[in-house]
Chains A and B, each alone.
Chain A
Amino acid sequence: MSVTGSVAGDPPVTPTPEAVESGGWRRHALAAGFLAPAAIFLGVWIVYPTLTTIWRSFFDESGDEFVGLQNYQTLFTSDVILTAIKNNAIWVLVVPALVTSVGLVFAVLTERIPWSVAFKTAVFMPMAISAFAAGITWRIVYLQEPDRGALNAGIAVVKDSFSSGGVLADARPSSDALEGTSQGTIRLAEPVGRGDIALLGLTAIGSSEVPDDAEQAVRPEALQGGIRGVVWRDFKPGGGTAGEVEPDELGLPGVTVKLRTSGGGAVGSTMTATDGTFSFDEVESGEYSVAIGSESFSQSFGGVTWLGEKLVTPAILISYLWIWAGFAMVVIAAGLAAIPRDVLEAARTDGGTEWQVFRRVTVPLLAPVLTVVFITMLINVLKVFDIVIAIAPGSVQDDATVLALQMWRTAFGGSNDFGVGSAIAVFIFLLVVPILALNIRRFRREL
């Protein structure tokens, strides 16, 4: 929740009003009056619950029986909680470093760009949106069907323009020598044996669908003890003879050809070369069928399952970066603006390249700001909740879960185990205590 609750600041001056001894108790009463409302809120809603939760974590589900450290033992034996710990470790290792570096890159790149305000506004905007709404926004991006999910649609476009997938989408046998359709397999009607040549001519392939690396189809030489053949586009402008390899007919590269025994047992599988030829070199005598594998026909891209158990955590991390990069950028840009120009200019005139200046001067000078961003993100990541519950579908929440989410699920999401729930909360608390100590030390130095 806390956006900036990281590092304590340094007040410019600490003007302790000295001449206030007179009327001591009245002044103290006044101070107490000003502080009372805050004290009540902090005491009742933060201090008292914190102590109670620590106490509660040593009792069982119902709170009646003292169980010692048993709830903490559960943290490290329950599969789901272990997953939460593991996932949170990934978050801790990846997110603060990633967000800080991306923010640094953006801040440096936009520094001398006249239209940087537009860029910064676009990148910073997600900060205003709730993590929950951002989660739903990204869930629409991650929809699996390439027809509906923008990310998979983008991948489908790239895939289509780079791969030869779908070459044989509507392919048909060019002659009676073959049977079958592109919906299943296309195979030679007659069985073949050693030394035979299998001619697999196909038609109804648009010229734009033929892979760019396709070459003139070649009728291979027969091979003693083996079966050779060719898969080619049995069509040329102005006609030609079906079932014969002729000049200007292209081979179809990258097609899977399968060899089976007449009983249907698989013997081998190979890919065609750029001229469409293929070869099964050592084949025992007997009758075989030659078929084009169904995987060669149009496999329309079904979309990456972003929100399945494997990719759900990286997917959520990306959307989290989308939210927080703007924060890092703005804070680092402010730090960058505070670096004296002449320091950078001096480094440049001393012959430093832009990269050297960046590495040796800019980054070291920015170190305090980078630390602030890093620590802020560290605290945020330990408490991340909304975006996980929003993006991860119910079925993979066990795989995507993190500590804060698992705490809520344990205590309020059905099983209502306040004992283990408290233990998870204390565990999160223990993880932020070192940061807390750091904050206080810094602040006391500055006070």
Chain B
Amino acid sequence: MRLAEALRVAFDALRANRLRSILTMLGVIIGVAAVVILVAIGSGAKAEVEKQVQGLGSNLILVVPGSLEIGSTPTASRLELSDVEVLGRAVGNPNAVATTVQSSESVRVGDRSVFTTINGTNETVVNVFDRPIARGRYISASDVDTRRRVAVLGSTAARKLFGDVDPIGRQVTIAGVRFRVIGLFTDVGSTFGVDRNAEIHVPVTSAQRLFGVERIDALAVKAPTIESIPDIQRRILAALAEKYPGDKFSAVTQTQILGTIGQILGLLTLVLSAIAAISLLVGGVGVSNIMLVSVRERTKEIGLRKALGARQKDILLQFLIEAVLLTSIGGLIGIALGVGASVLAAAVSPLPAQISWWSPLLAFGVSAGVGIFFGVAPARRAGRLDPVVALRTE
């Protein structure tokens, strides 16, 4: 029997039991759509993180207390402001060391107010991180030394607080304390729905007084070249070990952070995909079940076809094609739904879904494969039916 003819017969059979075919497909549809969506979200999240970490600037080493490995517990920071100088000496360039202490505070201008991240930083931030200033100026060394109450605003913070008014030179009230706006950042992207343009930077010394803390959260060191990174990491850790004997610190590059985050996201995607794959498997079992019912229902037809000259192979192929058609159509619908849902999620929610070219192809391949795998047993049963017995069936 020709393939085209077998396809037509299979189509007719599926059409004849339309509702049953659709319900059977549903299992495959849901499984495939789930795989496509979860892979899209997983790879989207990974791409987003990579973009963000890369956006931090090149040859950057972040210094944080504790260990950055998966499964380690966060450690309370013992870093303090004087460590900026310690590291400056250790790496031989005080201008390459930046610091930050963060807290979320409410910020008010007149009757407008926002709740956002306040970053206490020093003057080296514009050098160490790629954070260009659009207008005005950044925090200076003397701002830090004299605990001046000045602030640099991201574009979202500026728009929410000042609307169309030019904020430079005006006052903002951060946690009840008044600061003067001295500069505006150039726009940057957002991470997982957290808008970095909503950030406000103030001198680290003013921030510490404002938050009532002595600590700093993290240090960042810019290495002059990629080759110098391992050496600088060693020097940083040595300097900190000397000052804080027995404490653990991490000095990591973007590549290492990316690796760690990639590992976490990869694992997460794998687990979610495995769950989705189970639903695909259940869908496949449903297909197998329905094919067995179909073979039983059409025993007489099989007997007749055999009497008229159908070979075992012809009957097997006919039912296998029917099963594969069922899962392939389900797979295509599932892909369409999955891609649609991913695009929608990326557009209206903070989930950074990203469709990769291979995931729909893989999903289609897998669903067709499910059809073959779960269709073979019923199809073989059909092919082996004894025509005499089959014809006698009522």
Bound together:
no
Q: Give B residues with C-beta under 8 Å from A.
A: none
Q: Give A residues with C-beta under 8 Å from B.
A: none
